[in-house]
């Protein structure tokens, strides 16, 4: 994975934001289908709420939905270009605030002020040091019954699998052939190899927080390779304190497939993938 500096340069300078991130929702039939079919069903019991902090919003793919579920919405991103893009896009909404950070810090957020911390399809690229920094700070930013809903990498659990195919044990032409045939995973989706779900669980506990749930999911990968995880956590003294629930969801991309099919009828025009 890239460093903080490389990430900032990529998202600020190199990446083409012409579609404002909607290109990553094509597998679901568009952002609407992904939000209402995949994200909101997992988030619904925590919203609407008072103040939401969205970390790494990009150009506001999920911000457009979150803004209607709170009285105050704070956006934090290391990319100035993304923050300025959001500022322009949501300029008519007075309850949004915008902050460019250094990729680690949440010091601009008042303590005990956040009812929901949200990040989806962004922090999967964040390495362990970044996640540790955010989790440790979230502990002081949450209100007593506030919740954090964070989508992050679990690819570290499959580190040896992915690294094996990148080494020169087999002829490169053979490896490329196996990837084209989907016998071998063709890409690591730019996931952070220092992160796993277990590592996230330990960070949460170390910060004095309680892990409500963890859902391990595949993301454009074979069902057996659950390279991502959605971790939901809260303060240990919150009303959410209880049993931690875990789910290994090998059907996640089937969910996307079915939503994409529905998207042909009900989704955003021009964004529905074939298949």
CATH number for the domain that contains residue 61: 3.40.50.150
Strand-pair category, 209-217 with 228-235: antiparallel
Question: What pLDDT is attached to residue 180?
Answer: 85
Distances (CA, A) of 269 to 60, 95, 201, 244, 266: 19, 30, 39, 40, 9
Q: What is the C-alpha separation between 32 and 275, in angstroms, rounded?
A: 18
What is the per-residue pLDDT for 1? 67
Return the pLDDT at 244.
94
Q: Which two tokens stand for residue 86?
A: 């959001």
**pLDDT score, position 179:** 81
Any idea what the Cα angle at residue 50 is, between residues 108 and 240, rounded to 5°?
Answer: 95
Q: Does residue 185 lie within any of the structural domains? A: no
Kindly state whether residue 81 falls inside one of the protein's structural domains.
yes
Sequence-ordered strand ranges (E) for the chain: 51-55, 72-77, 96-100, 114-119, 142-153, 209-217, 228-235, 245-249
188 in any annotated domain: no
Asked if the structure places residue 97 within a domain, the reply is yes
Domain interval for residue 57: 4-153+194-266
With respect to residue 80, please indicate whether it lies within any of the assigned structural domains. Answer: yes
Q: Specify if 207 maps to a domain.
A: yes
**Segment-wise mean pLDDT, segments of 10 residues, the chain, 275 residues:** 83 91 93 97 98 98 98 98 97 98 97 98 96 98 98 96 80 82 86 97 98 97 96 97 95 96 80 41
pTM for the predicted model, two decimal places: 0.93
On whether residue 168 sits in a domain, the answer given is no
Domain count, the chain: 1
* The pLDDT value given to residue 25: 95
What pLDDT score does 166 carry? 77
Answer yes or no: is 94 within a domain: yes
- Rounded distance between C-alpha atoms, residue 87 and residue 94, angstroms: 10
């Amino acid at each position: 994975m890239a460093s903080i500096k490389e990430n900032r340069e990529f998202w600020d300078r190199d990446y083409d934001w012409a579609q404002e991130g909607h290109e990553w929702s094509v597998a679901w039939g568009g952002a609407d289908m992904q939000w209402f079919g995949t994200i909101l069903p997992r988030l619904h019991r925590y919203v609407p709420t008072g103040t939401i902090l969205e970390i790494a919003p990009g150009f506001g793919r999920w911000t457009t939905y979150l803004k209607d579920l709170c009285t105050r919405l704070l956006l934090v991103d290391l990319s100035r270009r993304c923050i300025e893009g959001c500022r322009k896009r949501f300029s008519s909404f007075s309850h949004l605030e915008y902050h460019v950070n250094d990729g680690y810090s949440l010091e601009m957020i008042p303590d005990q002020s956040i009812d929901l911390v949200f990040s989806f399809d962004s922090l999967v690229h964040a390495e362990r040091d970044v996640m540790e920094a955010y989790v440790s700070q979230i502990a002081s930013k949450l209100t007593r019954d506030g919740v954090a809903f964070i989508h992050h990498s679990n690819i570290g659990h499959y580190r040896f699998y992915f690294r094996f195919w990148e080494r020169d044990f087999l002829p490169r032409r053979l490896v490329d052939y196996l990837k084209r045939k989907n016998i071998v995973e063709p890409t690591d989706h730019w996931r952070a190899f220092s992160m796993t779900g277990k590592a996230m669980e330990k960070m949460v506990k170390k910060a004095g927080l309680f892990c409500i749930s963890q859902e391990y999911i595949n993301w454009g990968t074979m069902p057996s390779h659950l390279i991502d995880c959605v971790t939901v956590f809260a303060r240990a003294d919150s009303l959410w304190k209880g049993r931690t629930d875990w789910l290994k969801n090998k059907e996640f991309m089937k969910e996307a497939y079915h939503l994409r099919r529905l998207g042909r009828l009900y989704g955003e025009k021009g964004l529905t993938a074939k298949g």
